[in-house]
Amino acid sequence: MTVSTDSSTDQVREWARRHLWLHFTAMGERAPEAPMIVRGEGCYVYDSEGNRYLDGLASLFCVNIGHGRADVAEAGARQAAELGFYSNWSFAHPRAAELAARIAGLTPGDLNRVFFTSGGSESVESAIKLARQYHKLTGNPLKTKIIARMGAYHGTNMGAIALTGIALMRTPFEPVMPGAVHVPNTNTYRLREGDDPLQFAEAVRERILFEGPDTVAAVVMEPVQNSGGCIPPPEGYWQRIREICDEFNVLLVSDEVICSWGRLGTFFGCEKYGYLPDIITTAKGLTSAYAPMGAVIASDRVFEPFEGKSYPFLHGYTFGGHPLSAAVALANIDVLEHEGVVANAAANESAFQEMVESLLDIPIVGDVRGAGYFWGIELVRDKQTKETFSRRDIARLRTELGDDLMKRGLICRVDDRGAPVVQLSPPLIAGPEQFAEMEAALRPALTEAAERMGVK
């Protein structure tokens, strides 16, 4: 097939319609109308029709420093001119070494060893394999099971999808990796009066005892759970999880693919809640998505069985630690640190929270929750009973409300992986001006959604 060099809007749309397979998208429905995003600047992106949108999702929780930073992209170009690629398979190169040291200098505690991947799913997959091999090398070969939370999303690789606690994501690919088991997440919205929120932590201990402590390798959880709508932990939850993991020699993996690099107002999500994991998985904000990259950050204790030994961690990716991506990550971290981007998120967290909470007077808004620049708005049919919507109505909300918000110039996510939740996660350079724009789109859109759905 010969492809024309004509790149007019109509021609590009035709290429997309005929050849581009969109991710997580029903191709018979949405593909022909998919917005064609062509440019970004700061907190905003522009489509092929010239419409401007506030990127209220940081392009899938990624673009922490905002769009259009040519200097960050140029760092990759300079590196490509010097060394376009060399792998980390038995070789090192300067940018990977420098980035590993930079990351180790920012992580808390003894999280000093960095294993690079190409993205978040690969980071989680790598952590699963690392946990299993670690226990084999330390004399606990039966420790293979991984505990994750119900409703959580951990990626698309077969190991990561086994940890994902969403049936819709798993069933098309079953049987998934054995050994993944699940416990309740920390959503306190529907707890009864007098219930102890720390029951969610105790459920982890009960599950370890049920499975057999000599069979459980790791607990994998996000600091604030993404899927289900930005679910934060109750006070003391993470400290109790750490105690339970220590009690049973279980590795604690903090899945920070979203929650690191300033998203919660701290460089790493574990710092927000005052716990020290054995492993951190990260991606997205590591480069602010200016280049694909992820990483697994391991403690000295986890690395010790591999140090100076003849047996390697039998795992790797061709593009893990790619020189171009590493150079971009270093430039991105410079921006995060030296331009006060993470500090901006910390300083404006309360203002963002106040804006979101101001929407609680709308009949369809049942709960708001989150932390930092990562908030969810749960929609309900009845605020008094906290009744949610049927699956049919949730699908309708996702389509109609999502389209309405786009028409009002706001990109966000109407998450339907459970209860319907509007998720907001803007670039970390956003401030009160952008919060006001969000409210100006959300308030009328949610009010009209309540009217359409018959919520009073």
Instruction: Tell me: do 425 and 332 sit in the same domain.
Output: no
**Which domain-ending residue is among 338, 364, 380?**
338
d(CA 378, CA 376): 6
d(CA 104, CA 98): 10
Query: Tokens representing 274?
Result: 């005052």
CATH number of the domain within which 43 lies: 3.90.1150.10
CATH number of the domain within which 116 lies: 3.40.640.10
Whether the Cβ atoms of residue 149 and residue 184 lie closer than 8 Å to each other:
yes
Predicted confidence at residue 2, as pLDDT, reads 41
Asked if residue 16 is part of any domain, the answer here is no
Asked if residue 30 is part of any domain, the answer here is no
Instruction: Tell me: do 301 and 420 sit in the same domain.
Output: no
Asked if residue 229 is part of any domain, the answer here is yes
Instruction: Tell me: do 157 and 177 sit in the same domain.
Output: yes
> CA nearest 41: which of 25, 30, 26, 52?
52
Domain extent at residue 118: 71-338
Query: Tokens representing 42?
Result: 């700061």
Instruction: Tell me: do 320 and 228 sit in the same domain.
Output: yes
Query: Tokens representing 161?
Result: 């999808």
Predicted confidence at residue 31, as pLDDT, reads 52
Instruction: Tell me: do 97 and 60 sit in the same domain.
Output: no
Instruction: Tell me: do 323 and 355 sit in the same domain.
Output: no
Instruction: Tell me: do 377 and 232 sit in the same domain.
Output: no
Predicted confidence at residue 333, as pLDDT, reads 98
Instruction: Tell me: do 196 and 278 sit in the same domain.
Output: yes
83-90: long-range contacts, CB 8 A cutoff, minimum separation 24: 83/323, 84/323, 84/324, 85/319, 85/322, 85/323, 85/324, 86/323, 87/318, 87/319, 87/320, 87/321, 88/116, 88/316, 88/320, 88/321, 89/316, 89/318
Q: What are the angstrom distances between the C-alpha of 68 and each of 43, 108, 156, 438? A: 9, 31, 28, 21
Asked if residue 208 is part of any domain, the answer here is yes
d(CA 233, CA 230): 10
Asked if residue 19 is part of any domain, the answer here is no
Predicted confidence at residue 32, as pLDDT, reads 53
Predicted confidence at residue 4, as pLDDT, reads 45
Q: What are the angstrom distances between the C-alpha of 36 and each of 51, 73, 386? A: 10, 21, 37
Q: What is the pLDDT along the chain (456 residues), one digit of tens a residue?
A: 344 445 677 888 888 888 888 887 777 755 557 788 999 999 999 999 999 999 999 999 999 999 999 999 999 999 999 999 898 988 999 999 999 999 999 999 999 999 999 999 999 999 999 999 999 999 999 999 999 999 999 999 999 999 999 988 899 999 999 999 999 999 999 999 899 999 999 999 999 999 999 999 999 999 999 999 999 999 999 999 999 999 999 999 999 999 999 999 999 999 999 999 999 999 999 999 999 999 999 999 999 999 987 789 999 999 999 999 999 999 999 999 999 999 999 999 999 999 999 999 999 999 999 999 999 999 999 999 999 999 999 999 998 999 999 999 999 999 878 889 999 999 999 999 999 999 999 999 999 999 999 998
**Which domain-ending residue is among 338, 355, 389?**
338
Instruction: Tell me: do 310 and 363 sit in the same domain.
Output: no
Instruction: Tell me: do 180 and 310 sit in the same domain.
Output: yes
Sign of the Cα torsion 265, 347, 238, 105 reads positive
Predicted confidence at residue 418, as pLDDT, reads 80
Asked if residue 55 is part of any domain, the answer here is yes
d(CA 320, CA 326): 9
**Which domain-ending residue is among 281, 313, 338?**
338
Outline where 140-236 has alpha helix (H).
158-163, 167-170, 199-211
Instruction: Tell me: do 86 and 119 sit in the same domain.
Output: yes
Instruction: Tell me: do 394 and 264 sit in the same domain.
Output: no
Predicted confidence at residue 19, as pLDDT, reads 86
**What's the length of the chain?**
456
Asked if residue 415 is part of any domain, the answer here is yes
Asked if residue 436 is part of any domain, the answer here is yes
Number of domains in the chain: 2
